[in-house]
Each structure stands twice: as C-alpha cells, then as structure tokens.
A = this chain, B = another copy of it.
C-alpha cells in the first residue's frame, strides 16, 4: 500500500536525519576529546556507540508531531527549512538528555547491562579488568575497577547533560522561543529528578510505597521527558496554540503512564521468551510497582511478602508469587489503571488536537496493544 510505504519511508528519512544530527553533536565532541587522552576519548566513543544504537523514540515523536503540526502551512521557504533543522537539533538534544538520565540511573542502580548488552559502565569495567589481567594486577583491585567505571558513568552523564543544554541554548530561534524551550527543559529535568528520587526512596525504604506515590513517580520519572517534553517542544517549535500544546502534553502524560504500567505488567506476567528479561527480577529486587502496591492491600500480601525483595527467589517460588499476584486481583487492577489512562488519553484526542498529530499519537498508542516486550 502506498500510504504505508510512504509512512515507512518518511520514518526512515527522519531516523537518518536524527542520526546525522546526533553523529555531528557527538562526533565533534569525540574529536575534541582526543586532546585529553585515551581514557577521556573512550568515554565519548562508548557514549556515541550507545546513543547511535538507540531507537530514537523521543526524537521521532518530536519530529513526527512537528511535521504533522506544520503540514497545513504548506510553507517551503528557507525559514521553514531552517526551523525544521532547529527542530531536529532539539530532537537530538532530547535523545542526549535521555542517555544522560540512563547513565546516572545505571550508576544509582549499580547496573552494568542494558537490554542484554554491557552499558557504558559495564564496558569500562570489562576494559579495565582486561588491562589488569594483561598487566597481572587483577585480583588486587576489582573494587577499584568498578569505582573507575561508575565514575565514568557519572562524568559522561554530566557531559551529556551539558551537551543537551548547549543545543537548547544555541538553538537558531527567536530569543523568546529559545527561552520557552529552556523553561521546558528546566521543568523536565526537575520532574525527572523528582521521579528518580522517589523511585530510589521507594527502593531504599525511605519513602512509603503507597499507590499514589508510585503513580506520581512513574509520571515524573518517565512520562515527562519521554512524552510531554517532545510533544510540548514540537508544539512550541511549530508555533501551535498553547491550548494545543497543553492537550498534547496531557495526552502524552496519560500515554506515558499507560506504557510504564504496562512495562510493570510485562516484567511480572509477560513471556520472558518475548521480552528477554529475567521474569522475576522485579520481585527479586523488591521493586515497588503499582502491582505490589495493590497486592499490599489484599489478604494475599502476607504470603507474597515473605518472597518479595529476596535476591535468592527460586523459579518455583517466583511462579508461586506470580499466581498469587494474579489471583489477588493485582494484575487486573493494574490492567484497569492502564484502561483508565487510555480513556483519558482518548478523551484528549477529541479536543483541540489537529488530525495529523492525532494520528501520530494513535500510532504510538497502537504500539501499546499487543506489546510483548
């Protein structure tokens, strides 16, 4: 079908444009980094490899929303071309922000692997250990190698956070509009940090795991920068009415929360052959999800609690807990929450959102259904 193949081609073009922009942003810095020695340059090389290997969910959402919002304008002059180039630079900067958050999140969680591959910290650790093995100093400094690798994660996150701000600050835009985007960036960082702090506080037992806190945390930690920021930025760059921007942001937040809740359901009840993750890792880690928050309010909790947060949880025990979580109604409860979010999302679509960008959102929402990984 012509429509499908043109849509596919258009997404491929967008991916290339975003990839080119990211290559430029990172390549420039990776070249400059060589002046500071091999270890510093290595940070940029690894970050470049990881960023460019991403799926560009956030920049694609920004650009598809932007293109849809500009569709009606039929302008093709140099000003339109320049503005679109700026939109691509902001879209790429949001991908750098995402990666900065991931890196600091990995440091905080002590993670060395992401989606089955070593993350930047895991790569630095493996390389330091390999050097130590070659030099015969391994064994004496395993702790130091991890410290070195996690330091690389903190520092690279800082540089990517700086690079994000540099792109926003240098955007080729009227000063007022640039300030508007800088406001958005500041708001996003505050909410994401607040969400990360809640998440860690829940995990460390410093913050009480009630359902409201968990839902607020999910919204702050993921929905804000993954959905609200790209949609608001697209609207601001496209010169859309503030009413449209707000409707997009609200729709995006609902969708973001639905995705996050579905992630939790998939991790606990999904087919590990599909999602490729340890099916009991959330239970072993004692992750405070909406599923767990509901289970705590049921009679099943005393039985579940004795297995929750136990790193040594066996496969049989895991399956037992999973049956309990389903039988006590926690699975259905969270499915209900997702439906609520999707209803709120759909009701936003019937408001001020123009048809083109509505289709972008519906396309994204379509990925939610039948999602298994």
- Chain A residues engaging chain B, CB cutoff 8 angstroms: 29, 32-33, 36-37, 39-40, 43, 100, 104, 107-108, 128, 131, 137, 141, 144-145, 147-148, 151-152, 154-155, 157-159, 161-162, 165-166, 168-170, 175, 178-179, 182, 185-186, 189-191, 193-194, 196-198, 200-201, 203-207, 220
Contact = CB atoms under 8 A, between A and B. Distances in A.
Contacts of A137: 205
A107 B197 CA distance: 16
A200 B33 contact: no
23 contacts: A33-B194, A36-B191, A36-B194, A39-B197, A39-B207, A40-B197, A43-B197, A104-B155, A104-B158, A107-B154, A108-B154, A144-B204, A144-B205, A145-B204, A151-B196, A151-B197, A158-B158, A158-B189, A159-B189, A169-B169, A169-B178, A170-B179, A175-B175
Chain B CB within 10 Å — which of A158, A168, A220 has the most?
A158
A193 B131 CA distance: 22
B197 A128 contact: no
A165 B186 CA distance: 10
A36 B220 CA distance: 10
Stoichiometry, copies per complex: 2
Nearest to A155: B193
Contacts of A39: 197-198, 201, 206-207
A167 to B, nearest CB: 10
A300 B170 CA distance: 55
A366 B128 CA distance: 43
Contact of A196 (B155, B166, B169, B200): B155
B104 A204 contact: no
Contacts of A155: 104, 193, 196-197
B147 A204 contact: yes
A66 B155 CA distance: 31
Contact of A190 (B159, B165, B168): B159
Nearest to A159: B193
Given A36-B191, A193-B158, A205-B141, A148 B200 contact: yes
A200 B147 CA distance: 8
A158 B159 contact: no
Given A137-B205, A159-B190, 6 more contacts: A29-B190, A36-B220, A144-B204, A154-B154, A161-B161, A166-B182
Contacts of A203: 144
Contacts of A100: 158
Contacts of A206: 39, 128, 131, 144-145, 148
A146 to B, nearest CB: 9
Chain B CB within 10 Å — which of A147, A182, A204 has the most?
A204
A101 to B, nearest CB: 9
Contact of A32 (B43, B182, B190, B207): B190
Contact of A33 (B190, B201, B205, B207): B190
